[in-house]
């Protein structure tokens, strides 16, 4: 059911704009209509967040100064705000796998999953669809959609705060 939700969301984003070129995996080529540079920037962004664990070094080179970020748990307005807020997540032990990416010029939709060590020291898997827009070689916006945001909030130890935000 969760995978169906993610793929339905991705397909909805796919059909909402102009036809997205589709890639499978981080190292795939972009099909007709896509911008290979946009995909490269997004994949570097994901690599910094999920793999490098170097306090976000390099993010400021990829993000527009006025970068806007939204997911069910956090918002950031500006690159510095985002880099500050993402520090705790960057420092957690995790891996990720891109399942699909859709590219249309300066817009990239990534469907991926990640494994993260939670506050209870267990490893959990979460599925995300992220939509990003770029301008002049910088990421200006990213929105993340979790297939199960309640489970993520609970596993990461902030379920109460998450629920209070929606009361």
The tens-digit pLDDT sequence of the chain (167 residues) is 454 444 444 444 443 333 333 333 444 444 444 588 999 999 999 999 999 878 889 999 999 999 999 999 999 999 999 999 999 888 888 999 999 999 998 999 999 999 999 888 999 999 999 999 999 999 999 999 999 999 999 999 889 888 887 77
Give the residues across from 133 on adjacent strands.
107, 141
Give DSSP secondary structure letters for 26-87: TTPPP-TT--HHHHHHHHHHHHIIIII-STTTTHHHHEEEEEEEE-SS-EEESHHHHHHHTH
pTM exceeding the 0.95 threshold for the entire prediction: no
- Neighbouring-strand partners of residue 100: 111
Rounded to whole angstroms, the Cα distance separating 143 from 129 reads 8
List, in order of start, the domains of the chain with CATH numbers. Answer: 2-165 (3.10.450.50)
Residue 150's nearest CA partner among 160, 159, 139 is 159
């Amino acid at each position: 059911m969760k995978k169906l939700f993610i793929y339905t969301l991705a397909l909805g984003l796919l059909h909402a704009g102009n036809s997205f070129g589709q890639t499978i995996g981080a190292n795939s080529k972009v099909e007709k209509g896509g911008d290979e540079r946009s995909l490269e920037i997004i994949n570097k962004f994901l690599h910094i967040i999920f793999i490098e664990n170097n306090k976000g070094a390099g993010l400021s080179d990829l993000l527009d100064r006025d970068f806007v970020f939204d997911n069910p748990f956090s918002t950031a307005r500006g690159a510095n705000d985002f880099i500050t807020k993402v520090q705790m997540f960057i420092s957690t032990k995790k891996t990720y796998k891109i399942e699909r990416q859709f590219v249309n010029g300066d817009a990239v939709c990534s469907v991926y999953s990640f494994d993260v060590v939670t506050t209870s020291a267990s490893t959990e898997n979460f599925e995300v669809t992220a939509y990003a827009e770029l301008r002049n070689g910088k990421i200006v916006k990213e929105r993340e959609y979790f297939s199960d945001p309640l489970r993520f909030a609970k596993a990461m130890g902030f379920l109460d705060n998450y629920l209070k935000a929606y009361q």
